[in-house]
Amino acid sequence: ETGVTQTPRHLVMGMTNKKSLKCEQHLGHNAMYWYKQSAKKPLELMFVYSLEERVENNSVPSRFSPECPNSSHLFLHLHTLQPEDSALYLCASSQDPGTGGREQYFGPGTRLTVT
C-alpha cells in the first residue's frame, strides 16, 4: 500500500449504530487530520493529531471520537449520528509543520450515509 488509505470506502449506518472509520498512512508522516466534506460547504477540519497528540478539535460534537494509537494510524469512532452527519470523511497526513513542508496528503475518503 502507498500513500494514505481509508476503510471502508462506503458506510451506511443507522442513528443508533456504532462504527469506526480507519485511516493509515504509509508516508512516514507524523501529523494526521480528519476533515468532513459536505455538499456545497467547504472542507471542514475536524481533528488534528501531531506526534500522536491531539492538538486541535474544531468544536466537533462528541458523537465523533478520534483515536490515534501511533503515527501511522488514525480512527474516527462514530456513535448516535444524525442524518446531517452524512458526508465524505477525508483523512490526511503531513510532516510535522514545525519541520517545514506543510502540504497534506489525502486518502480517498469514506462516504458515510446516516439513515
Alpha-carbon span 42 to 20, nearest angstrom = 23
Closest distance between another protein and the C-beta of residue 103, in Å? 5
Closest distance to another protein from the beta carbon of 17 (Å): 23
Q: Which is nearer to another protein, 15 or 51 (CB)?
A: 51
Q: Which is nearer to another protein, 75 or 106 (by Cβ)?
A: 106
Q: Which residues bind another protein (CB under 8 A)?
A: 4, 6, 31, 33, 35, 40-43, 45, 48, 50, 55-56, 90, 92, 96-98, 100, 102-109, 111
Instruction: State how far the Cα of 39 lies from the Cα of 54, in Å rounded to an integer.
Output: 27
Q: Which CB, 18 or 57, lies closer to another protein?
A: 57
Cell numbers for 67: 483515536
Judged by CB, which is closer to another protein: 33, or 64? 33
| Minimum distance of another protein from residue 71's CB (angstroms) | 13
Q: Are 74 and 49 in contact (CB under 8 A)?
A: yes
Q: Which amino acid is at 86?
A: S
